[in-house]
Amino acid sequence: DERAGAYAGTGTFFLFSDTFVGDVAADGSRQNATLVNNSAAFRPAGTPWAQPLQMFVNTDPQSGDPISLFTPAVPGTQPGDFYWLKDAVRLNGTTYVFASWWSAAYARRGIVLITLPPGDLPPFPNHTQQIVPLYLPQLGDATGIVFGGAILPNTAVSGAPQPDGYVYVYGTSDSAAGNGLNKRVYVARVPEADFASAAAWRFWNGSGWVASIQQAAPIADEASVELSVVALPDGRFLLVFQHLQASRRIAIRVGTSPTGPFGPPITIYTCPEPDLRSGIFCYNAKAHPHLSNPGELLISYNVNTTNFADNLRFSDIYRPRFIRLIAP
């Protein structure tokens, strides 16, 4: 349910990628910290906001140490491979999670769809994993495309103002050539009932929907790897992102459809955290309509530092921040 205020009557499933598991001392430093590649949390409907989230990781059966909630188990998995989680959606009682599959050497290997069947509870022993054709590898100077960074369920059950029965999934360019921080945005879609069917996916080529990811055309640029597209009550669509991936600026673009055209970037907030200490940066702004109140849009962004030791000394650096965009 993407409608504003829906959090009051439904539970909320949170997904995280790199996660510190451990304690925080009185001076704010991390103690006995283990870094796992992904985790999750759940907030039951009606839970007071002051109540801590229930967090979930997995446990190594031999050592008892915390490990990632989800680890690669698809054909071709190699030792050391891991998942960073992308966006997720719940359709007809089944939860679908996109995961970016990486090697131990930080080479992207693909996009995997993790399926959590109804009734499966953490650590999700009944989940399944499948490689999906939502990744176009970067070859030489050619730009690759990575989908899964944002999901827009434009369906009646999600509360979309103008539902068309499709689930839209957004991706961004993946390129080491030129300015790698200028993330171009692409979009694919699939009928809600066929979400897990690889053959049903279609890609926007600038004028229509095609079966080949190689024909996908960008609908915007200067975005971030993680982003959001939100259906507004008046029928327009809001693209929310970190401008140029890791700048201080959180920006929006306004469009007329899930494929655009989208207008120019409008900066709505300038992140102050980089002024706190050398090496701190902000990235991957995204919207949370489900957690928003009517007349506003809750937006989160990530904060990190290039100095890993500072993440251990100052536990308040590496955590999400939130702002509210108020409708005029």
Task: Tell me what pLDDT residue 181 has.
Answer: 86
Integer Cα distance of 143 and 113 in angstroms: 22
Integer Cα distance of 220 and 36 in angstroms: 33
Integer Cα distance of 128 and 114 in angstroms: 6
Measure the CA angle with vertex 273, ends 24 and 252; round to 5°.
120
Is pLDDT above 90 for 110?
A: yes
For residue range 159-181, what is the model confidence (pLDDT) as tens digits?
999 999 999 999 999 875 556 78
Is pLDDT above 60 for 232?
A: yes
108-140 CB burial, b ≥16 within 10 A, e <16: bbbbbbbbbeeeeebebeebebebbbbbbebee
Is pLDDT above 90 for 328?
A: no
For the segment 265-286, the average pLDDT, to the nearest whole number, is: 98
Task: Tell me what pLDDT residue 1 has.
Answer: 84
Is pLDDT above 60 for 208?
A: yes
pLDDT tier, 2 (very low <50, low <70, confident <90, very high otherwise): confident
Radius of gyration of the chain (CA): 19
For the segment 150-162, the average pLDDT, to the nearest whole number, is: 96
CATH code: domain 6-326 is: 2.115.10
pLDDT tier, 4 (very low <50, low <70, confident <90, very high otherwise): confident
Q: pLDDT above 90 covers what percent of the chain?
A: 91
3-state secondary structure of 122: coil
Q: pLDDT above 70 covers what percent of the chain?
A: 98
Is pLDDT above 80 for 226?
A: yes
Task: Tell me what pLDDT residue 179 has.
Answer: 60
Task: Tell me what pLDDT residue 300 has.
Answer: 98
Give the residues across from 132 on adjacent strands. Answer: 111
For the segment 186-199, the average pLDDT, to the nearest whole number, is: 96
For residue range 37-77, what is the model confidence (pLDDT) as tens digits?
999 999 999 898 889 999 999 999 999 999 999 999 999 99
pLDDT tier, 327 (very low <50, low <70, confident <90, very high otherwise): confident
Is pLDDT above 70 for 146?
A: yes
For the segment 82-96, the average pLDDT, to the nearest whole number, is: 97
Task: Tell me what pLDDT residue 141 has.
Answer: 66
What mean pLDDT is reported for the chain? 95
Integer Cα distance of 200 and 190 in angstroms: 6
